[in-house]
A and B are shown apart, each in its own frame.
Chain A
């Protein structure tokens, strides 16, 4: 099953790329694949929710000697999230709006991207994670090139350069860890690293944290992000916004057991997170272009996640996981709304938008749900995310962080209201009349429904996150499962 999750999108991607079927077939296959992925991921979530860890050792080599995939509750949650977002992206990519060529290019590339991401979520091997990062990076670079314009090339450049440097730092950290412990297997590292010399260990982990922090786009490593995907077709931008920063978040969560060996690093994460939350939202508040506003918001929201992660303890990690899930859904739907607004108004500038083009109705409802969820109003998913983060901060007695997050929350609301004001609020108009445009909620409606579902099933989801967090901190089940991947027999091939 783990292999299917990883290999299916890759093979489907290759198939679509090489065979170049017509658009309809391509779309059907893409949707079919994402459907299968969603079902398998849901199955995986169900399997791992009780603390079971699914392991698959490649080539029959027993970890830590070979590479193993290991899926616990944490990985499964991210895999399901990615599968859902992929399906929604494929649903939202429509020939009528985005053109045949975009679809034909986007389908295989998004599948490659998914394969890399799922591989990253699954792998139990730090070097393999690096390789998966590469796969993600190259497919996202190619996705960024789809528009084929000068602007898209220019926009993609900083993304690539910065991510490349981050990868190099990752590799350096990885090398150090290998030098210190002789292993790159995560389960093994968490045991070996306990006795490593602290000063070296700190450097190695700092390299990893900076690498992942850059990918997650936290302050002060975040400023490449907002300019990154201005020309991308909206559904793809939604996919990027939803998941790309989460790979960094996932990696940080995955190596949390290692990070927590060094209290200084956790402390650094808390402050970086708090600073991100505030700086990101202030920068967002000053924007007049909705996509830019939203991507600054990602910096801010990822700040909440990383701060919670730095707080550690089951409460902090559970909060980080819950918040990450919530934020992906909300941010993706806001990007889809942004696209709809840009198309209707034929402008990116909020100030030039006209409420009569956007009108009330379903689009406003969709935006309202997503925006107020982002602002953390109950009973939407964002409220539970915020509640869990605040609670973690409170119990960790991190009151300054709590203050920072409170202020950031206030400005989050203000910035969402800013969009509302320009795009949706009615104003006394000199000329009467509405320009009615048809709006089919489709993918956006589905996402918004997911947000509502997440809000109302916050209880079970949070319980799941808490279990995953406890698992992650304890780590014994994970280690046991990985080391026993090949049964109890002697080392090597049976």
Chain B
């Protein structure tokens, strides 16, 4: 593509503007309560404006990595756009469909406040999607990835004033996709850490070693599979249909669910060489494709039918991408575009049907063809594309898939063939079911009989998409030359030398296969009839999800009950056990020292101490226990005396006397019964054991430390500095008021605070009155 050249600065500005424009308009709408009247017009303008900017870049042949902002280089996060033909054409798709959806949604919601909020959020979503497509940086991509999920969360709850199930659906969608994205984040970290870059372009041009590719892919896959609704993480997508139809059309069929496929296309040059690529993607895709088709045949609600069909076709895309050759990537790309166009159109068409007949149930619809002929024609264009009929774009892409398939390697090939052929048969069958169920035959309910043709307000957007589907097929040659070839080249990094895409290749195997698919699909439809197929005995994913959350909650509940309600003693014991467990090994070596002969006086004091302890645990009254505790304290003081430490004796005595006095005073205020301990003897024995162990460990610690050679630096210095520099002879005093004066100061503050605090507690004006009132309440 030649054309005008744009300077890099201009490209940066234009790309950033294209990404931000919808979000800015969206934020204005959200914050502008009186802006209801302007919502639709602004929304269309913003999306169309973005589309125009992107087209401009495309015409200018922009192909570069644009560095915008080194946001957090140490965490590998840069804001950098990758503009090339592939990313830009995806942007055209997103913003173009965005403009159409805004047009349709304006008509669908009317001029309501809800419309303003929904359209505003849709615009923010659009920006996120554009950002995701254009990101060159893995973590920037991740950011937009999560933002799309968040927007989807809010958009699903749009109808929360009418339906009760929206929150659960939105929560499921968010938790599943964010949950899937968590390992993906680790995968991105793995890629970035192991290669040193997080730039998609850099990674694609020099792919990491195979081992890294496999690890990264394995981690990234859950993200892709959850976002693109692959079995077994698909269940959130049908649930997300609680959103209003235009939103489902945009997010849950055309764009957001494609994010996974888009990432797959981006990752192919980076991780595509791994053995895991085909061996994981093909089975998952086949399973999804078949299960989606089957469930689509089991729906009564046409919107749900369409949701399951999206699941199935996403599976098809995953299979195709999973074939893992450049030709397969080409086929997947074409299918992605074709699907976005016809599926968005079909959803909008369903919105039209709903508006016309006031029901979405196949059991009530029918005969709309005569009542709303224009709608019937438009939907026919789209449905034809979905079923893969010539001459629509859908035919073209399916043909390409089949052709690719016939060239695939043998092992997984059979599985892929099976999946795609059966899936396609299913597609034809449910398309027939949908289309004939809505438009053919006779109305099956009174509502439907009163159905009215819908205006162009509703018809415009799906019609545009239908016409695109038609011309996409008819203009196969043009599509190939001006779209598919440059897109694939940009994705892969090189041009493919392949025969041109044509609608008519003459009679060949894919064509025969295609014809067979259509015929058997129709046959299946005739055979099943209008009755929905059963869902089968398996519990649905969303049930499993809900019970998973409930299970986690009940585990949490028992953890809480078991641990958070225990008395403080348990926590103390736990902390002591943890802290002293490494000290237990010191007991044995120190045992000798503990048992070295004691003097008679020492033994007597020990006996006294023992008596105090025995009294402490056995006396029934509080006062008795306090006195026993005092005995223990005094014995310790005596022990100090025996070890000739008179200053310690004094301190200990003072503390003992004071605590005893305060204790006795406080006991007076204690109300309630005396502690009644009828604990089992087993528990008591355990306590004894525990206390003895901790005691022994502490003693062992003290003795072991005591044996270490003393480090004289500080004491020597203090002894010399106290008289000479600090001019004080009492070392303790000098330490308190000079060497470590700050400690003393703060401790003084602590004591003052404690005193005043206690005083406030006891005499505060509020305290007694509150207590009284509470007391009265209890009485």
Q: Which of B143-151, B252-260, B596-604, B658-666 contacts A (4 or more CB under 8 A)?
A: B143-151
Q: Enumerate chain A residues within 8 angstroms of B580, measured Cβ to Cβ.
A: 203, 206-207
Given known A157-B568, A378-B146, contact A200–B704 (CB-CB < 8 A) = yes
Is B714 a contact of A65 with CB atoms below 8 Å? yes
Asked if A459 and B554 sit within 8 Å, CB to CB, the answer is no
Pick the residue among B185, B572, B715, B749 that contacts A182 (CB under 8 A): B715
Question: Counting CB contacts under 8 A, is B705 at the interface?
Answer: yes
Q: A138-B750, A425-B160, A463-B74 are in contact. Are A67 and B714 (CB under 8 A)?
A: no
Query: Which residues in window 1-27 of A have CB below 8 A to B?
Result: 10, 17
Chain B positions 544 through 571: 1 when the CB is less than 8 Å from some CB of chain A, otherwise 0: 0000010011111101100110101001
How far apart sit A307 and B399, CA to CA, in the bound complex (Å)? 54
Contact with B along A278-299 (1 / 0, CB 8 A): 0101111111000000001000
Interface residues of B in 746-768 (CB under 8 A from A): 746-747, 749-750, 753-754, 756-757, 760-761, 764-767
Find residues 716-771 in chain B having any chain A CB closer than 8 Å to their own CB.
717-718, 721, 725, 738-743, 746-747, 749-750, 753-754, 756-757, 760-761, 764-767, 770-771
From A88-96, A161-169, A325-333, give the one contacting chain B: A161-169
Mark B569-587 against chain A: 1 for CB-CB distance below 8 A, else 0: 0011011101111110110
Over the window 659-682 of chain B, the binary record of Cβ atoms lying under 8 Å from chain A Cβ atoms (1 yes, 0 no) is 000000000000000000000000
- Point out which of B171, B190, B575, B761 has the most chain A C-beta atoms below 10 A from its C-beta: B575
- Closest beta carbon of chain B to A199's beta carbon, Å: 6
Q: Which residues of B contact A221 (CB under 8 A)?
A: 571, 574-575, 578
Q: Give the secondary structure class of A's interface.
A: helix
Residues of A with C-beta under 8 A to B190: 394
Cβ distance A423 to chain B, nearest Cβ, rounded Å: 12
Min CB distance B663 to A, Å, is 16
B756 cross-chain contacts in A, Cβ below 8 A:
17
Question: Is A348 located at the chain interface by the 8 A CB criterion?
Answer: no
Q: Does B505 contact A (CB under 8 A)?
A: no
Say yes or no: A128-B743 contact (C-beta < 8 A), given A162-B571, A394-B190, A427-B160.
yes
How far apart are A480's CB and chain B's nearest CB, in angstroms?
Answer: 18
Query: A-facing mask of B57-86, CB < 8 A → 1, else 0?
Result: 000000000000011111101000000000
User: Are B568 and A224 neighbours in the complex by a CB distance under 8 Å?
Assistant: yes
Would you call A414 and B185 a contact (CB within 8 A)?
no
Which of B173-181, B443-451, B486-494 makes up part of the contact surface? Answer: B173-181
The yes or no answer to B382 lying at the interface (CB within 8 A) is no
Query: Do residues B739 and A61 form an inter-chain contact, with CB atoms below 8 A?
Result: yes
Q: How far is the CB of B328 from chain A (nearest CB, A)?
A: 31
Residues 201-243 (chain A) with a chain B CB within 8 angstroms: 202-203, 206-207, 210-211, 214, 220-221, 223-224, 226-227
Instruction: Verify if B776 is at the interface (C-beta below 8 Å from A).
Output: no
A112 B753 Cβ-Cβ under 8 A: yes
Q: Are A391 and B174 in contact (CB under 8 A)?
A: no
* Given known A-B contacts A459-B74, A466-B74, A428 and B161 have beta carbons under 8 A apart: yes
A65 to B167, CA, bound (A): 64
Contact B571–A384 (Cβ < 8 Å): no
Chain A 141-152: CB-based contact to B (< 8 A → 1; otherwise 0): 110010011100
A interface residues, Cβ below 8 angstroms from B: 10, 17, 58-59, 61, 64-67, 101, 105, 112, 116, 119, 127-128, 131-132, 134-135, 138-139, 141-142, 145, 148-150, 157-158, 161-162, 165-166, 169, 172-173, 176, 179-183, 192, 197, 199-200, 202-203, 206-207, 210-211, 214, 220-221, 223-224, 226-227, 279, 281-287, 296, 372, 375, 377-379, 383-384, 386-388, 390-391, 394-395, 402, 406, 409-411, 413-414, 417, 421, 425-429, 456, 458-459, 462-463, 466, 491-493
What would be 10 A-B contacts, judged by CB atoms less than 8 Å apart?
A: A61-B739, A67-B743, A145-B761, A158-B571, A182-B713, A200-B708, A282-B559, A284-B556, A394-B190, A413-B175
Closest 6 CB pairs of A and B: A182-B711, A459-B72, A286-B556, A282-B556, A179-B705, A378-B143
B residues neighboring A (CB under 8 Å): 70-75, 77, 139, 142-143, 146-147, 150, 157, 160-164, 167, 171, 174-175, 178-179, 182-183, 185-186, 189-190, 193, 549, 552-557, 559-560, 563-564, 566, 568, 571-572, 574-576, 578-583, 585-586, 698, 701, 704-706, 708, 710-715, 717-718, 721, 725, 738-743, 746-747, 749-750, 753-754, 756-757, 760-761, 764-767, 770-771, 774
